[in-house]
Structure 1
């Protein structure tokens, strides 16, 4: 990846926080290996942001979340969306996490890649161009992709993220394509939640094995290994270790599909637990197609607290199996903080006996090779042409060519960004290797001497985005594991990286183009006074004894560009004097602090200032509180009554009405139909739900168009962006080409009159608002009498039918009673039947249009 700026100072913090521990873990510097202290700068995948968003429930409600996403998908596919196209601005060169890659066994130019949250992409020209092939599905969290070795037109996709590093990345089962990815059919196993491996037997395409992790939030028996003998039409549950242990890896004998090996893993997590080790991390073997299993020992490590196991099988001798083990702290001779590699074991007799491969420091294999979060990787590979050529995937990738006597780095150090950090899959295809990382896909054709980035897929996961008034033709954002960057579609594959770490809010001084602010995880705020050539800390004055959100909220005031506001557990006001930024506290602590010593401390999640009255401030918290100040922070009122007891994701003060503000919340709970967005017209004394007919899906961000007197509102949700032109009575999904993906942030670009979206799967996208009618003016004049058509039933639960005889109607329009268009289409013949089961209960209007005019009739959906 070619990047014009790399600022490593953004990730120089040596305290590294991991979701697998309650308290911060300090990774010790490894001085005996060149530049391995840079691993101290590599931040762990983080769960707090996602877990808190489920507040106040300890266990995320998987079913409610799935139903919400399916509702969005069904409505969108049925036409409940506006016209207009989203434009992808980029970046194509920054990348995102790829969990799995597969190569067509009959055509090496065809590669399919599965992203952790961005879906499935395919290339047929060895990476020159890529196309999404899975966007019609509601879940784009991909864990595994496999070609049928006997018929490469058949492809299997397993959904769900096996690395389990952030909620909600659960899947919806396994999907099958018989036309090379052109279309997909659901093949079951939704209850298995996370698919870790798929194996199609080379001798019989009807025999398929699937390993699953199950739902990590609850105890469930839907874990283990499943088998199909009819090409995925039905499944038998062949291995269930217990209700808390999934199978993270699996290998099958290439010539005898009755022989298979499965690795158990105790990976459980909820709002009060994140478990990465346990007593059931063991290897199981079956020689009868899964009917019976034995637990392997014979020299393998056995402990009450063992971590993730990775498996691979030799291409030279199928009795040779390799297993990598991780645990907390590493081995006796190579201990280090966090989750580390315990060792690699090999069997030459199909699992009866195992010997450990040398990974001691004197071989060149560093103690901290997996960065303290080995549970995030757990992958070992062996060259199919050489059993002594072994690879361990981690922050970097390590290799031995002599069976463990000597180890070396097989890629450039992650800190150079020549190959992105965090390696998740490695496949061999002839003389080339293909590597999947947290930043895309790389290829080597010279035995790992050189690596080339072979994809420009826009799949970056943006947390926050920003609008630069000095350069409105550029788009900026902070991304998961990929820092802060900026650019546009004209330089889609050349976006410069402005800052490192996990990127969050970027904001600009409207009076000085050389001053802007960047934020990385845990409130690491920095400022540049020279347009990005150098950055200084902008945290002076913060009380470091307070907790702070992983995504710490802050903004530059619209009233005075030298003034900033931020939220930790208190609200702070900052001042930039041209040389430094100094903060002072302007509130008491506004959150519950009982969890301050733990991973689950509550913090302020959002802050806002009225664009009309400088003294009006608002703050929302992760524990469901909303606060208001009308005197610039001297006093604060708790105005939470009337707001659902949920994580407060956003507060926005009205740009038109000084006493009005809007609050959104997240979270899912079955049979709990709380509104996710509310409005106050009296400074928070009372709140009015304005969810209208929005799907029951979490809202992450609110944006009010400044020119429509609060009638036009946009909300970013876990299923795309919705908008209303009638102050929340009715809502439409914006645009017809954005897949069902999470959008966490939006900004309005007034120069281009466009909405800018920061997606958590497909980079930054823009929508030209000229494509939609924001004035809410019906355009069709009815001049044909109502008796010209008959409509029945007028009260319905699933469908309506219209008939006529004297007119040649050509088009139909289905609208809400206030004129919002829901669906439209063409008419053939003298009868029209429509499926309206997806509509929310209420009154609707069907309009038929011909060259002679139009006629409308009303009906009620129950």
Structure 2
């Protein structure tokens, strides 16, 4: 009993550093490093100062990824939960690394929660024309893994965020383990003879299990130690070796005691596969030039000697460390990849057990060994085949393989190569004829040493360790999205089972879902995307004009907050300004700007009970303060709320807010860095006074989010790190733990309620988790619609239910005053038409087992006099002059089954156009259609062309459109050709490889004026009289009708006709149908296009006078050349 007590006290006395990044993963300081980066090496480390310097630097310098920017992200991810109010990185507490004994935790209670992981469990490349892409390793950064030599079906791995996993079927599926420690690892080792014995290098030592991962504990502890490699003797399990930043340690009694055998930092270990007495080690040498030397022991680690024959010369440097590989195919062979100076790695080889060495290959040698140091030791590994000693693979950014003993190398995955392996190699292993690689995205497996892609696959099912930096969820459909560290964006729909999409993108803290168009998503790095309920259908694009403030730090971000009454009205904070969009984010207007130019507008709460009341939180790093702004008139005026007494500016700097669904005056304010008595505050009078909701249960909680559960009496969740979650409502005097089931390494990024199924979701550093809500919510009715105003009897209003409503046994009852058509008054989402001008009310009643609630919205819908009939004269034109000015058209079902296609319009260019600028596009269609301007080597031009699958993207036509003049343009698609027209003159294109017969433009949306995504700028100019047809127009038809406005119904093949003559520029009505266009920033201007109602006549004429009887004119010519002439007579 005394011994146990002594050990406990010893552990409590250990100083636990907040920075848990492996020492060798920190990039070296250099004279030419960016000025801001020097702050990362200062002591004490101040993250506010660092972040401010980083942003200031890149405000005046073009951003370029480098080792310092990558390290910055890793650094802040590791320390963001351990900051003082002034930004200083503090020491981590013991209970933040190792889960406390529940019997010693004050007020420990068994929570009612039942958290379970829901993904991503499997990630797939997004669909193409052939359906869903293949399973891919873009899911979780797996730092280290090992394969049991005694049973190769068993593997263990550890993710970057400290999640432990085990597989018993060669990685085909994985199960999360619960070691009750929060630490990543670079060293995982399974006993060669017992797969139940595993050692993992963690913060301050080694964690171990002897029962296959069921229970874990420290088997060795050393303050400040970081373990970079562990090996167990295959002939004597008592012999364990650990390479650490504190030196090389050896245990001879199965980890009971440890002895330091080498005092300098050791980064790598290997045991000779034929003689376990031969131990190899890479050890730091700082006596001359900083470098790593090769040491060898022939007595099982009792003594070591340095072997220098042929080793890397001092002049080449090796301060970055290295990794080694041995192989049972040749016990004399050792490979060592060493990170040399000047970003050059060296592939060293020994054929005599390390007694002598040679450089087999030098990095950054094109076509021989093109590998660079990249991020250094953080992304470095090597493995040799167990069946052929000349086969070896290594990697930093990319994976490389050699089949000639390390002399020549070929990339096989990463930023190149045949294998779809995520860039940034973390670990590599070979066993038998099998080879494995883990990267920033996950684990990949091959049975032929990565020779053929047919013999390789992703092995990630069940590794739910995705590090979410952004997270959002659907409302009526179960949809989950988010931006992830390393792995870009992901999305999931309830019909996809456990399959998640890899959506592309970098690693932004992004991802937003429209609350009622739940398949419509927004990502700051890839733009707008719309997924299908069918996982095999293509993902569509849609324009987005601006995105909210985003940050890698918890809570230091804004959001997309939708007006509860209209799901196309959305608010964001961008910079120090609040912005509002009425077209679902295509364009924005500034509403309010803080007087603090360095302020960041963040969390937005729009009242459901009174949407004119809005609260916005503000953060200011410059002033070291945080505040809340409030408006009671929908943004016309704003006032600053008085903060809670006893709180400091530093405590309020990082915060979040959550608002009642039934009382616009009831608001909660959570302070991320609040002191032990200043965590959560509540106001019941709109911010005039505050009640402190902090109790001892959350006194040491670093808040990462708070969320009010709508439909409850003040129920609020408070989330933090280490799997901690709490709940409190108005009837509770303290916070109740609600984290049962969450792993100790779990850190919540954001909480989302899915009321439909009574679920609470946590998007976290270890994937997405869910549990039943603490209590059932009472219904709160909330009608929502796509628009408040209409001026067309063919303009369908799409209503939907934004109620707080658990779906089981739910019912809806709608009432629409003044409507001429309602699809179903008892549906969740009825469609409604209005005709008579006026202002009308809407009501919705919802019911379930937990109650009934009705909401009446008076004067909700405004119907204006009709503007959707054909106008006989040009009134207005669409002017697209801004960088993001576009308009969109939803999918046009009338194009289904079309054997041809045509589009016509008048355009007037303002200036020379950007490369790839487009007039009309449908990139998401099965043929990737677009009509616009040429590539021309990214040079600006006015060459009119089109894009279609299997048509060269460099295609140019004979037409260069004039600038400052109206030109009539047309495109027709026939079964074997495409014809472009300018002012009636044709240019024909044929290509046997392009399929102009089998296409479908009916399922995907259109964009007016947008560029090729990620490649070209938007169209700059005016457009009028845009028409789309579901057949191929003839040359005669095009010439006859260039200048004519024809009455409605003149051509049944006309499926969409936009005159841009509306009184307001929010929506452009289809003058010949019901699919209308939505504006995204363009402006309506007076049109001077030469078009109107009238007549036209076409004759073939030559020398003499010809009478155009229909047009009422005569035309004389003085030569004998025969020509076709069309004359149009227009009505003024």
Task: Give the structure-1-normalised TM-score.
Answer: 0.69
2:197 aligned residue: 154
Structure 2 counterparts to residues 290-305 of structure 1, below 5 A: 294=306, 298-302=310-314
- Give the match for residue 829 of structure 1: none
1:639 Cα deviation after fit: 5.4
CA contact (8 A) 1:549 1:605 kept: no
Cα distance, 1:96 vs. partner?
A: 0.9
How big is each residue's C-alpha offset from its partner over 1:270-300, in whole Å with a ceiling of 9 and x where there is no partner?
xxxxxxxx96442352536366665958542
Cα pair 1:42 1:501 within 8 Å, conserved: no
2:293 aligned partner: 283
| Partner residue of 2:491 out of 486, 493, 515 | 486
d(CA) in 2 for partners of 1:81, 1:18: 47
Q: Deviations over 1:681-718 (max 9, x none)?
A: 56276562514312623211111112223244343444
CA contact (8 A) 2:229 2:268 kept: yes
| Matched-pair contact (CA < 8 Å) for 1:251–1:261 | yes
Residue 693 of structure 1 aligns to a residue in which SS? helix
Q: CA deviation at 1:628?
A: 2.0
Q: 3-state SS of the aligned residue for 1:47?
A: helix
Separation in 1 of the partners of 2:543 and 2:79? Answer: 29
The offset of 1:157, in angstroms, is 2.4
Matched, 1:103 2:147: yes
The separation in 1 between residues aligned to 2:638 and 2:309, in whole angstroms, is 65
- Distance in 1, matches of 2:261 and 2:601, equals 47
Map residues 203-602 of structure 1 onto 2, 5 A cutoff: 203-213=235-245, 223-241=246-264, 246-254=265-273, 255-257=275-277, 259-264=279-284, 280-283=290-293, 285=295, 287=297, 289=301, 294=306, 298-302=310-314, 306-316=319-329, 320-326=333-339, 330-331=343-344, 342-348=345-351, 351=354, 353-359=356-362, 364=367, 367=370, 372-411=374-413, 418-448=420-450, 449-450=452-453, 451-457=456-462, 458-471=464-477, 473-487=478-492, 491-502=496-507, 504-510=509-515, 512=517, 515-519=520-524, 524=525, 526-528=527-529, 533-535=539-541, 538=544, 540=546, 552-559=557-564, 560-567=566-573, 569-577=575-583, 580-582=586-588, 584=590, 586-588=592-594, 590=596
Query: Is the alpha carbon distance of 1:373 and 1:494 closer, same or farther for their aligned partners in structure 2, counting shifts above 3 Å?
Result: same
Separation in 1 of the partners of 2:552 and 2:111? 38
- 1:683 pairs, out of 687, 690, 707, with 687
Which protein, 1 or 2, shows the higher relative CO under an 8 Å CA cutoff with sep ≥ 6? 1
CA shift, 1:750, in A, is 1.8
Q: Displacement, 1:667? A: 5.6
Q: Distance in 1 between matches of 2:519 and 2:775?
A: 34
Deviation of the 1:231 alpha carbon: 0.7
SS of residue matched to 2:186: strand
Measured in 2, the distance between the counterparts of 1:773 and 1:82 equals 19
| Secondary structure, aligned partner of 2:282 | strand
Q: Which residue of 1 aligns with 2:702?
A: 698
- The CA distance in 1 between the partners of 2:266 and 2:647, in whole Å, is 41
- Please give the secondary structure, in 2, of the residue aligned with 1:460: coil
Following superposition, the deviation at residue 60 of structure 1 comes to 3.3
SS in 2 for 1:204: coil
Q: Match of 1:751, SS?
A: helix
Q: Distance in 2 between matches of 1:529 and 1:48?
A: 32
The verdict on how the C-alpha distance between 1:360 and 1:696 changes in structure 2, with shifts beyond 3 A counting, is closer
Could you tell me which residue of structure 1 aligns to residue 167 of structure 2?
123
> What is the CA–CA distance in structure 1 between the aligned matches of 2:382 and 2:581, rounded to whole Å?
51
Select which of 185, 191, 214 maps to 1:182.
Answer: 214
Q: Determine if the alignment matches structure 1 residue 738 to structure 2 residue 742.
A: yes
CA contact (8 A) 1:324 1:343 kept: yes
Could you say which residue in structure 2 is the equivalent of 1:145? Answer: 188
Q: In structure 2, do the counterparts of structure 1 residues 578 and 124 end up closer, same or farther at CA, with 3 Å as the change threshold?
A: closer
Task: Give the gaps of 5 or more residues in structure 1.
Answer: 1-15, 30-36, 160-170, 214-222, 267-277, 332-341, 594-602, 775-862
Structure 1 residues 459, 281: closer, same or farther in 2, change over 3 A? Answer: same
Hey, what's the Cα distance between the residues in 2 that align with 1:72 and 1:575?
51
Q: Which structure is larger by alpha-carbon Rg, 1 or 2? A: 2
Distance in 2 (alpha carbons) for counterparts of 1:692 and 1:555: 34
Structure 1, residues 218-275: CA drift from partner, whole Å, max 9, x if none? Answer: xxxxx3322212111122233343xxxx543233445254633134499xxxxxxxxx
CA gap 1:561/1:401 in 2 versus in 1, 3 angstroms: same
Structure 1 residues 364-419: Cα deviation after superposition (integer angstroms, max 9, x where no partner): 2575666x434431212222444432212233311111234432123475799833
Aligned length: 684
Q: Is the 8 A contact 1:90 1:487 kept in 2?
A: no
> What secondary structure is seen at the aligned counterpart in 2 of 1:554?
coil
1:708–1:717 distance in 2 versus 1, CA, 3 Å: farther
Q: Is the 8 A contact 2:164 2:179 kept in 1?
A: no
Judged with a 3 Å threshold, the aligned counterparts in structure 2 of structure 1 residues 406 and 654 are, in CA distance, closer, same or farther, namely: same
Partner secondary structure for residue 586 of structure 1: strand
3-state SS of 2:112 partner: coil
Q: Residues 136, 112 of structure 1: CA spacing in aligned structure 2 closer, same or farther, 3 A cutoff?
A: closer
In 2, the alpha carbon distance for the partners of 1:617 and 1:394 equals: 47
1:771–1:619: structure 2 CA closer, same or farther, 3 Å change rule? closer
Structure 2 residue aligned with 1:198: 230
Per mean C-alpha deviation after superposition, the further-off stretch among 764-773 and 181-190 is 764-773
Say if 2:660 is the partner of 1:662: no
What TM-score results when the alignment is normalised by the length of structure 2?
0.54
Cα distance in 1, alignment partners of residues 212 and 370 from structure 2: 43
Quick one: distance in 2 between partners of 1:228 and 1:433?
30
Question: Structure 1 residues 50 and 435 mapped into 2: Cα distance closer, same or farther (>3 Å)?
Answer: closer
Question: Taking structure 1 as reference, are residues 369 and 558 closer, same or farther at Cα in structure 2, changes over 3 Å only?
Answer: farther
Q: Which runs of 5+ in 2 are unaligned?
A: 1-33, 41-53, 124-138, 533-537, 779-1132
- 2 CA distance for matches of 1:676 and 1:235? 43
Cα offset for 1:610?
4.8
Give yes or no for contact 1:518–1:525 (8 Å, CA) kept in 2. Answer: yes
Render the CA deviation track for 1:25-45: whole Å, top value 9, x for unaligned: 98999xxxxxxx9x9x99995
CA RMSD of aligned residues (A): 4.4
Question: What is the distance in 2 between the residues matched to 1:126 and 1:548?
Answer: 35
Shift of 1:185: 3.6
What is the CA–CA distance in structure 2 between the aligned matches of 1:661 and 1:415, rounded to whole Å?
A: 54
Match of 2:109 among 72, 76, 80: 80
